[in-house]
Structure 1
Amino acid sequence: MEVQGKIKLVGETKSYGSNGFQKRELVVTTEEQYPQHLMIEFVQDKTGLLDAFNVGDTVKVGINLRGREWQSPQGETKYFNSIAGWRIEKVGAGAPAAEVPPFDEYDPISNSKDEDHDDLPF
């Protein structure tokens, strides 16, 4: 899945626990009739992907939806969702545009004097 929008916040990389788990948060505001502020988590080796991005950049982010079930000591079951980012790229003015090949007015087939244009082998 992908999310596109403008970066509102790029968080610092934080470490958790004794095993050195790393997480970095990115907030992207979608550009639609009712903009949404989506917090996307980048973890472990993906935290460095955010180094090249700044607040205000328009980006496209590759995401996965994550869901977890948790049971409290009282036996109550709760569900939690998160958005995990795994790819990010700039879009818009700073991004390379796809180039359309130039139009060539001379078409050797339609401009030739030979009327037999059927070059099919059968």
Structure 2
Amino acid sequence: MSYEITGKLIVRFDIVQRNENFKTREFVIEKTEDANGRSFTNFVKFQCVQDKTAMPDKFNIGDEVKVQFNIKGTKWEKDGRANYITNLDAWRMESVKLSQNNGNSGEVNYNDIPPSDNVDDLPF
């Protein structure tokens, strides 16, 4: 299952080479929401892996971005005790300005539909 969130890019961490074949990178977006006259700010940290580690480089700190991600969870045991970790694995990032300018709002503008050559094209 995939999720998405929009916010301001505030931190880009360095790429970490975990082993010979695996690298990760983290970044953080700031998401502010208003509810009942109060403003709430959350800081959401994402992880990119492998070929996606260069993805945050396309954006400047302070840019509004939309992040698409998956939630991944891992369990491991140490000394007889279970430990859990949850990662938000980002797999796509885009500028909010670009997605707004592309007109991908899902709305149809009927003025953009070309007129029919046949004026009387009703089936009844």
**1:97: Cα distance to partner?**
3.8
Q: Secondary structure at the match of 1:32?
A: strand
Number of aligned residue pairs: 111
Residue ranges of structure 2 left out of the alignment (5+ in a row): 35-39
Which residue matches 2:48? 42
Partners of 1:119 and 1:103 lie apart in 2 by 19
1:87 pairs with 2:92: yes
1:66 pairs with 2:72: yes
Greater fraction helix: 2
Q: Secondary structure at the match of 1:54?
A: coil
| Residues 94 and 69 of structure 1, relative CA distance in 2, 3 Å threshold | closer
Moved over 6 A (4+): none
1:24 pairs with 2:37: no
| Residues 58 and 22 of structure 1, relative CA distance in 2, 3 Å threshold | same
TM normalised by structure 1 equals 0.76
Greater fraction strand: 2
TM normalised by structure 2 equals 0.75
Of residues 89-98 and 28-37 in structure 1, the stretch that sits farther from structure 2 once superposed is 89-98
Q: Max radius of gyration: which structure?
A: 1
